[in-house]
Structure 1
């Protein structure tokens, strides 16, 4: 698989995450951890179908340490995310939680064979400014708390760390994400039974929203993201991830849940500019490497 194709596959995860807010709203009143359990169970079923192509023997070749790492990362990210918003349901919490693409770009410079350039960092900062316009422009009630903001920061670090570490686990088959999903579903169900009331989706639309979440944003997306992180352009994917809050808002506008605004247009310009800078920097690096190989 080529680097560009893996990058394109990884970006499909960003497109799917853009529908996360829309389907989450449609899944009300399901509490967070029950929703997590349902969605990751569906994602695990998708993984079993994915794995069946190569045979389930491929899962036996993966170390239990990798399974523990991936499962705790997926569960930990969502646990921190939900807890952060319960303690601090503010736009600032969302903005801090969305630092993970910037952290991916910065941490990628520590990976062997990767080189972090000035234009990657500038592109990430410009795209982050665009995401900030979207997140801070959302109407959210409630008061913030230092603990909630701190959990949001840990949430961003958790996802960035998992994504970058996936690159170091390049030899581990993507089928391992199947186990990550199933274990996360089991852990989420256990937490739900301990701390949440059981409220099921309402009507056909509610169940359809849960199914859509499990098939896409909280299912297949983790498999395609794994491909992108292991074999694609990690800096470009990090910057391009800022398209998620923009596309999410556009999806809400299309559904009539949110209203169009000048801020959305400005955010689109900033995110597109940031992604273009990162893409240009990556293309320039590839060309430079090709030129040196010819010498």
Structure 2
């Protein structure tokens, strides 16, 4: 069941692009502040529903606070800055090295080669989805953007690996979300200009993002990594851009492409290689002669 929660988190991340079409006018840090505020409210709402103490102090240690905030806020901070300094296609492709890194982090000596081979196939599938018919030309003038995108990949894969070994409560994601909401608001006030008179469609989009890919999904990801099949979740993470492309095509925003079919085959094959069960050693038969 825990693995299913992790898979659901990836499915929600696949909805990010579609739901984001409702909020394209909003500055990114302003939207991030709203979404993580909603994410924090999920924790308080759950406690109210169960008639539990609402403001029970979090049990997070200092390292858990630092790594949690770095993962949730640091990832988005680097991502938004990378998009200002490099083309979106290049940034997106570099960022999605993180499932490959996570697969390597959770592998052991016996499975690391399988994780690498499966991860490379999954990454090629992602490359087909993200680049589409466009050409990928890494320009030295955008090196700061590429470096920030690589930071995103390392931050999220490291944060995810840390989650898989951390003993914090899943509810603590709510406290981390509250901290990230405050930091995002400060970043918005310092780096962006915007106004808070959102339309009904924009509020709806922000609400759905906060309940799903930029909020609720982080709780599900925490459960999946702590109690589920980490290797399978790392492999399935490659499918988020694929899910996004399919949903955009179904909504009539993007066109269908043969790349979607090819990417599906590559991602599935990569996941199969990475998660192929080890063959049990054959027991030698005793000599009865």
* TM-score where L is the length of structure 1: 0.87
Residue 251 of structure 1 corresponds to 247
Equivalenced residue count is 279
Greater Cα offset, 188-197 or 101-110: 101-110
* 1:167 counterpart = 2:164: yes
Offset, 1:288: 4.6
Counterpart among 108, 115, 140 of residue 120 in structure 1? 115
Offset, 1:88: 0.6
Give, in whole Å, the separation in 2 of the partners of 1:39 and 1:55. Answer: 24
> Highest CA radius of gyration, 1 or 2?
2
Give, in whole Å, the separation in 2 of the partners of 1:214 and 1:152. Answer: 23
Residue 286 of structure 2 corresponds to none
CA contact (8 A) 1:51 1:175 kept: no
- Cα pair distance change 1:60/1:85, threshold 3 Å: closer
Counterpart among 10, 15, 36 of residue 11 in structure 2? 15
Greater Cα offset, 85-94 or 240-249: 85-94
CA contact (8 A) 1:67 1:179 kept: no
Counterpart among 112, 130, 155 of residue 125 in structure 2? 130
Counterpart among 78, 93, 113 of residue 80 in structure 1? 78
- Aligned-pair Cα RMSD in Å: 2.6
Q: Structure 1 stretches (4+) deviating beyond 4 angstroms?
A: 51-59, 138-144
Offset, 1:208: 1.2
Greater Cα offset, 63-72 or 96-105: 63-72
What stretches of structure 1 of length at least 5 have no aligned partner?
Answer: none
Structure in which a larger fraction of residues adopt helix: 1
Deviations 1:183-230 (A, max 9, x none): 000000001011101144753222211111001001110000001111
- Cα pair distance change 1:33/1:234, threshold 3 Å: same
* TM-score where L is the length of structure 2: 0.88
Residue 155 of structure 1 corresponds to 152
